[in-house]
């Protein structure tokens, strides 16, 4: 149904806050360029008014934390068919861009947007933005199309839903509206469809309808990144010995652990090294000092009280705003880090936990089953 959003002030007498009489779209491009996190905290702007070889101009071009490009196109005065055709045309070009094409776009954007600041490579900007050590090895494997506007009609919703559900086009629409309460202005946001993310939904987004993903997009198997071991103090040996996966260093790295429930299958990757284990979740996420393991005399004690190869994760209780959190795992198979399974074409990203919808994930599971010798959840040989 068409988007309609209302806001009421509830202090004292209930009163409706009126939508402000301003041309939002004349300001929204500036707002999103300055703070794209209000749309999605997992995006970084790399281009504005990017000229395509076919004479078009992409309003905003972003890259997500998995290295995929995102076209952000403002609706302005377009009719539904016009804006959808335009964004599809841009997508046909953006889908062809690779690292050697993306870096010059970012460099031109930096020179225009921040002319007085020191030169910054896209690699450095990406790692700074997302708190990572390196960019993904492969960029733009699956681009996204996002239409932005202050209002949408039934035609826009119908076309976007049809393209996504029937043809698997990675397209969405996000609705912004300004409300005025005296001298104050409030910007609200609502997605037409639940925004797609490698892990969980970005931030506290309001969804107008849940996205029904194309059949078979996610195979029920979870991806886990056990990363940044040197900086975090985590030890894969500890994880195998005591049966856990973990995340810490910030809310982003912890929150996706809550996706896991007992019985879920997890495939664990050390970024840059390869896959090291597959297991079944046994216990939901808890803070590190609440995670119990067998101790002396056979009694259960907090893992903070047993010897660890990576003891610095315990220090996170005192030094980190969000301390290390652990999920219990029964390992079906594991290998040391120096024997990690790494092949071209295997899926990987930086989220602590993800429900991948990339077709590459199905191939990755198939290969890992063979390499680990997993058949129907048991150790064995593939037929």
The overall pTM is greater than 0.85:
no
Do both 34 and 155 map to the same domain? yes
40 with 114, same domain: the answer is yes
Instruction: Pick out the chain residues at pLDDT < 50.
Output: 21, 198-216, 380-383
The CATH number that applies at residue 170 is 3.40.1350.10
pLDDT at 199 (0 to 100): 40
Domain final residue pick, 191, 210, 244: 191
The residue from 172, 191, 210 where one domain ends is 191
369 and 226, same domain (yes or no):
yes
Q: Are residue 182 and residue 227 in the same domain, yes or no?
A: no
Boundary (domain end) residue, out of 142, 176, 191: 191
* Structural domain includes residue 3: no
Instruction: Domain count for the chain, please give it.
Output: 2
Do 233 and 183 share a domain, yes or no?
no
Residue 13 included in any domain: no
Q: Are 285 and 327 in contact (CB under 8 A)?
A: yes
Tell me, yes or no, whether 323 and 177 share the same domain. Answer: no
- Report the pLDDT value the prediction gives residue 303, as an integer from 0 to 100: 96
Alpha-carbon gap, residue 341 to 372, rounded angstroms: 9
Distances (CA, A) of 44 to 85, 126, 151: 25, 8, 24
In a domain, 8, yes or no: no
Alpha-carbon distances of 216 from 122, 209, 219, 357, rounded to whole Å: 34, 20, 6, 8
Q: What is the pLDDT of residue 77?
A: 67
pLDDT of residue 383: 35
Same domain, 101 and 169: yes
Angstrom distance (rounded) from CA 182 to CA 141:
46
**Could you give the dihedral angle defined by the CA atoms of residues 113, 105, 225 and 326, in that order, rounded to the nearest 10 degrees?**
10
> 3-state secondary structure string, 174-233?
EEEEEEEECCEEEEEEEECCCCCCCCCCCCCCCECCCCCCCCCCCCCCEEEECCCHHHHC
pLDDT, tens only, 39-72: 998 999 999 999 999 899 999 999 998 899 999 9
Is 350 a member of any domain?
yes
φ, ψ of residue 32 in degrees (nearest 5): -70, -35
Same domain, 110 and 235: no
Could you tell me which residues come within 8 angstroms of residue 264 by beta carbon, excluding any fewer than 6 positions away?
222, 280, 281
| Co-location of 250 and 300 in the same domain | yes
* Domain at 318, CATH number: 3.10.590
> Could you list the residue range(s) of the whole structural domain that residue 338 is in?
222-376
pLDDT at 81: 80
Same domain, 117 and 238: no
Pairing of strands 144-149, 69-74: parallel
The full DSSP string for 8-75 is EE-SSS-EEEEEPSS-HHHHHHHHHHH-GGGT-TTEEEEEEEEEPTTS-EEEEEEEETTS-EEEEEE-
């Amino acid at each position: 149904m068409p988007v309609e959003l209302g806001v009421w002030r509830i202090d004292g007498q209930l009163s409706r806050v009126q939508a402000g009489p301003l041309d939002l779209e004349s300001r929204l491009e500036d707002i999103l360029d300055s703070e794209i996190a209000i749309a999605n905290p997992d995006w970084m702007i790399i281009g504005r008014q990017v000229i395509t070889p076919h004479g078009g101009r992409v309003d905003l071009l972003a890259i997500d934390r998995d290295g995929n490009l995102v076209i952000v196109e403002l609706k302005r005065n377009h009719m539904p068919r016009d804006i959808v055709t335009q964004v599809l045309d841009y997508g046909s070009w953006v889908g062809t861009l690779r690292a050697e094409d993306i870096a010059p776009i970012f460099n031109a954007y930096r020179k225009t947007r921040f002319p007085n600041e020191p030169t910054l490579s896209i690699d450095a900007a990406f790692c700074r933005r997302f708190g990572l050590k390196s960019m993904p090895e492969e960029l733009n494997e699956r681009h996204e199309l996002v239409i932005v506007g202050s209002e949408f009609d039934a035609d826009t919703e119908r076309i976007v839903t049809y393209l996504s559900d029937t043809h698997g086009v990675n397209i969405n629409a996000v609705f912004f509206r300004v409300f005025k309460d005296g001298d104050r202005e409030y910007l609200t946001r609502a997605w037409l469809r639940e925004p797609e993310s490698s892990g969980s939904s970005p931030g506290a987004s309001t969804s107008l309808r849940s996205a029904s993903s194309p059949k078979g997009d996610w195979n029920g198997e979870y991806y886990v990144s056990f990363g940044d071991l040197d900086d975090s103090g985590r030890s894969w040996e500890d994880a195998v010995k005591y049966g856990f996966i973990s995340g810490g260093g910030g809310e982003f790295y912890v929150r996706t652990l809550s996706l896991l429930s007992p019985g879920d299958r997890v495939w664990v990757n050390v970024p840059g090294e390869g896959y090291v284990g597959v297991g079944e979740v046994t216990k939901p996420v808890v803070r590190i000092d609440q995670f119990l393991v067998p101790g002396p005399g056979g009694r259960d004690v907090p893992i903070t009280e047993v010897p660890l190869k990576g003891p610095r994760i315990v220090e996170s209780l005192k030094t980190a705003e969000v301390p290390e959190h652990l999920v219990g795992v029964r390992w079906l198979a594991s290998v040391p880090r120096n024997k990690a399974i790494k092949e071209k074409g295997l899926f990987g990203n930086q989220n602590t936990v993800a429900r991948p919808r990339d077709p590459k994930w199905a191939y990755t599971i198939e290969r890992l089953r063979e390499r680990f010798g997993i058949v129907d959840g048991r150790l064995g040989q593939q037929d």
